[in-house]
Amino acid sequence: MTQRRPLLLAGIGAALAAPSLARAQPSWPQRPVRIVVPFGLGGSADVAARFLAEPLSAAFGQPFIVENRPGAGATIGTDAVAKAAPDGQTLLLMSNTHTANETLLPNRPYVLLRDLAPVAAINIAYHALVVHPSIQATTVPELIALLKANPGRYDYASSGPGTPYHIAGEVFRSMAGVEVTHVPFRGSNEARTAVIAGQVPIMIDAIPTMREQITAGRVRGLATTGPQRSPLLPELPAVAETLPGYEASIWLGLMAPAGTPRPIVERLNAEVNRVLRLPETAQRQAAAGAQPLPMSVEEFAAFLQRDVARQREWITTARITAG
């Protein structure tokens, strides 16, 4: 008994201390959380980050601050997050630019699914194909005929190498069998300004933004890029009506540095999905031409793996380069 008593007392002491130790563990988050957007202001990713920041701030009791760090095909901001401490204080607002870059930019300083952890999918949206009013084409078949009659003469603008708009343009070029030159810009705003000014005649861009320009007569809408016509531009056909099988989208998601504690990832996933399932979210997303994509962490991880493979197939087939 004399030998067991110290052990017994030690065990009782440890049991009593356990709740105190649990209470002593720091809760998350204890300071503002950064959402790094590796794209410019005003684009789909920036809008989505700011849309989520408010409800996440309210849910977790700390500010969620959006930080735009564009450049180098989204690799600058992405690499900063990949190298950040895995403590849940730094998040990445990513898109299918990132899954394309896994093939398109072999020398990037990170590997997406090795250095970053999936957290939550956010939404998916389709695009509009537009031309400057000076272009003598009012339909997709007319545009294709014009480009075939003038190989290499016309350019199209995008928000940068490897972005969904770049991939959409290159897949269109490949499927249509035309020669058109890619002119990359630092973001959608710069590319859109160039098209409106007539400096670059063709662009594929976000439907809600381009709808305003189409209505104002600054650009001419030819088609949308979803599998069916868009309710936001119902008067425009889908590109697939001319090029069967053509589809181009932009989807967005949230990631964290690899090694971020699973409880933090799960809490973020649950809260993002809660926001995405709200009726008002569905209404706001529809007005922006997007559909919410609530997924579990595991579903989003599988989605990312599939999209890396799909982007690789498109990039290889269309012989897309980062230029």
Quote the pTM value: 0.81
Q: By the 8 A CB rule, do 106 and 75 touch?
A: no
Q: What is the pLDDT of residue 11?
A: 39
| Architecture of the domain made up of 33-123+250-318 | 3-Layer(aba) Sandwich (3.40)
Q: What is the mean pLDDT of residues 255-274?
A: 98
Q: What is the pLDDT of residue 244?
A: 97
Q: Could you give the residue range(s) of every CATH 3.40.190.150 domain in the chain?
A: 33-123+250-318
Q: Please state which CATH class domain 126-241 belongs to.
A: alpha beta
Q: By the 8 A CB rule, do 251 and 99 touch?
A: no
Q: What is the pLDDT of residue 186?
A: 82
Q: Per-residue confidence at 321, pLDDT binned at 50, 70, 90?
A: confident
What are the backbone dihedrals phi and psi of residue 123, each rounded to the nearest 5 degrees, phi first? Answer: -160, 175
Rounded Cα–Cα distance for residues 231 and 242 (Å): 19
Q: In the chain, where do the E strands start and end?
A: 33-37, 64-68, 90-95, 116-131, 155-158, 181-184, 202-206, 220-224, 249-257, 290-292
With a CB cutoff of 8 Å and minimum separation 6, the contacts of 68 are 37, 39, 40, 41, 46, 77
Q: What is the average pLDDT score of the chain?
A: 90
10 pLDDT exceeds 70?
Answer: no
Q: What is the pLDDT of residue 323?
A: 63
What does the pLDDT look like over 114-169, one tens digit per residue? 999 999 999 999 999 999 999 999 999 999 999 999 999 999 999 888 889 999 99
Q: Could you give the residue range(s) of every CATH 3.40.190.10 domain in the chain?
A: 126-241
What does the pLDDT look like over 212-260, one tens digit per residue? 999 999 999 999 999 999 999 999 999 999 999 999 999 999 999 999 9
Strands 90-95, 33-37: pairing is parallel
Q: What is the pLDDT of residue 24?
A: 37
